Amino acid sequence: MENSSSEFNSLVSSLIGAEAIGSYIAGEMVSGDGAELPLVDPASEQTLLQFADTNAEIVRASIVSCQAGHKQWADFSAQRRGEVLAQLGRLIQRHAEPLARLEAITSGKAIKAARAQVSAVAEIFRYYSGWTDKFLGNVIPVPGGQLNYTLREPLGVVLAITPWNSPIYLAAWNVAPALAMGNSVLLKPSEVTPLTALVMARLALEAGMPAGTLNVVNGLGKTIGDVAISNPIVKKVVFVGSTQTGRAVNAAAAQRPISCLLELGGKSANIVFDDANLAQAARAAVIAACANTGQNCAAGSRLLVQRGIYDQFVDAVAHAIVEFRIGHPLDESADGGPINNRAQFDRINRMVEMGISEGAKLVTGGVSEVTGQGYYVKPTVLKHVNNAMRIAREEVFGPVVVAIPFDTEAEAIAIANDSEFALAGAVWTRDVARAHRVVAQVNAGLLWVNMYRDMHVATPFGGNDSSGYGRSSGAECLYEYTKTKSVWVPIAEGC
């Protein structure tokens, strides 16, 4: 387990099978010729492999190939598209264990979590396979003797840009509905986790998708972003990542203009009232903050606690967080793995330091050492935080939770809403009426009552304000991937 590199090499050759890693265009692996990009093992800091950044010509070729793929894919009957997506789900499930291990090694995600996500990927394709022939147009009762109906047509080529925190899961989450609606997709995974997307694209071909329907372009965001977004063949951008990069993507798309779906950062409020089941809330607060070692846009990173139970509850969270086992990604008993990359590891440490220097009190955890043997951080609880501090306002993207006291329901809502982000959140109380009052007033795309974190592909997911816009799952997201055509036909005599 100390050294996952030999397992890594055999997983790469069995799942990807190519000599060199590059972009996957119409079933061919195409190497770039740019700067060498290292793939670093987050658990050992050793370089697992290097691959060359892509170039503008390859990006353009991948888009042209997607255009050809789209023509064939859109010509499939809706039922046949559904069968192919269902088959892709089955193939993912068939390769689930090696895929989960490759995902764990390269992203740093704990193997238990990687398995759950790969299984969810199979479920995502299964779910959308059922939608291909069920997203219907309407017949609209217009006045006069005319028939008016709507057609839902695919957009064409969709560009999906995804991050490193949950690589294959977030790729599938965004690629599957686009494909289900008859679009082709150019997927651009993070340059630090380029591999599992390649496996997904290979399996898509094996499942019966025409070549070019799902291409993957691997390289730096700056090499690919503007070239792809400005290309007139690309009709939509779905972006999952930081708010800063999301703004740049949005600005580039606005020049065309084409629409975006943006899933960005969060600083979600997990609100605990004094009448809640505190033992349950404390355990959930740990998962809310630490799942995927906190590298999670919907993390419950602001813990709002009613003043009467503040000290007692924060202590309970601090005790419970110690039980959250950070370990090697392939350790079966680990709840969380190392942080994916050095830049993010450093950022988490800087944020913890900053919080303490702003006056927060460290309850447990703290700044993590640079050991040269993995980007392991300590789950951290900070108390005596007020919502004006930067540690309460900026996303950490690590297992760091800040505890903020409040007195009244109105104050809890005001603090929750005093954020540029509005992605998720939770309310803990035994008072049903209060739960619904709070839910109605908190600005977020997703709220839980007396629970935190459950998600399913069938329900809408997305945020407001600096957390982005659009909904990326459920039936709702199918509107994102279709354009409506309104058709008028005179049918009455003399019309």
265 binds ligand ADP (CB under 6 A): no
188 binds ligand ADP (CB under 6 A): yes
161 binds ligand ADP (CB under 6 A): yes
Write down the least CB distance from residue 225 to ligand ADP, Å. Answer: 2
191 binds ligand ADP (CB under 6 A): yes
Write down the least CB distance from residue 252 to ligand ADP, Å. Answer: 7
Which among 123, 263, 409, 480 is annotated as catalytic?
263
Stretch of 136-144, 170-178, 217-225, 310-318 lying at the interface with ligand ADP (CB under 6 A): 217-225
CB 181 within 8 A of CB 483: no
Structure tokens given for 113: 């979590």
Write down the least CB distance from residue 176 to ligand ADP, Å. Answer: 18
Q: Which member of 62, 65, 132, 190 binds ligand ADP (CB under 6 A)?
A: 190
296 binds ligand ADP (CB under 6 A): no
Residue 227: which region, alpha, beta or left (left: phi > 0; alpha: psi -120 to 50)?
alpha
222 binds ligand ADP (CB under 6 A): yes
CB-based contacts of 137, cutoff 8 Å, min separation 6: 149, 150, 151, 152, 484
Residue 74 and residue 381: Cα distance in Å, rounded? 51
Distances (CA, A) of 33 to 161, 180, 212, 361: 21, 33, 22, 49
For ligand ADP, the closer CB: 109 or 112: 109
CB-based contacts of 260, cutoff 8 Å, min separation 6: 236, 237, 238, 239, 249, 250, 253, 469, 470
CB-based contacts of 395, cutoff 8 Å, min separation 6: 243, 265, 266, 267, 297, 301, 421
Stretch of 80-88, 186-194, 329-337, 447-455 lying at the interface with ligand ADP (CB under 6 A): 186-194
For ligand ADP, the closer CB: 82 or 225: 225
Write down the least CB distance from residue 106 to ligand ADP, Å. Answer: 14
> What backbone torsions phi and psi does residue 201 show, to the nearest 5 degrees?
-65, -40
221 binds ligand ADP (CB under 6 A): yes
Active site residue 260: no
Amino acid at site 494: G
CB 45 within 8 A of CB 373: yes
For ligand ADP, the closer CB: 397 or 428: 397
For ligand ADP, the closer CB: 265 or 379: 265
Which among 290, 297, 395, 480 is annotated as catalytic?
297
Placement of tokens 């030999």 in the chain: 6
For ligand ADP, the closer CB: 251 or 279: 251
CB 125 within 8 A of CB 89: yes
Active site residue 263: yes
- Give the other-Cβ count within 10 Å of 312's Cβ: 12
Write down the least CB distance from residue 4 to ligand ADP, Å. Answer: 22
Stretch of 95-103, 220-228, 420-428, 468-476 lying at the interface with ligand ADP (CB under 6 A): 220-228
For ligand ADP, the closer CB: 184 or 223: 223
For ligand ADP, the closer CB: 163 or 399: 163
CB-based contacts of 7, cutoff 8 Å, min separation 6: 101, 105, 330
Write down the least CB distance from residue 49 to ligand ADP, Å. Answer: 18
Contacts to ligand ADP from residues 240-259, by CB under 6 A? 241-242, 245, 248-249
Q: Give the catalytic positions in this structure.
A: 263, 297
Residue ranges in contact with ligand ADP by CB under 6 A: 161-164, 188, 190-191, 221-222, 225, 241-242, 245, 248-249
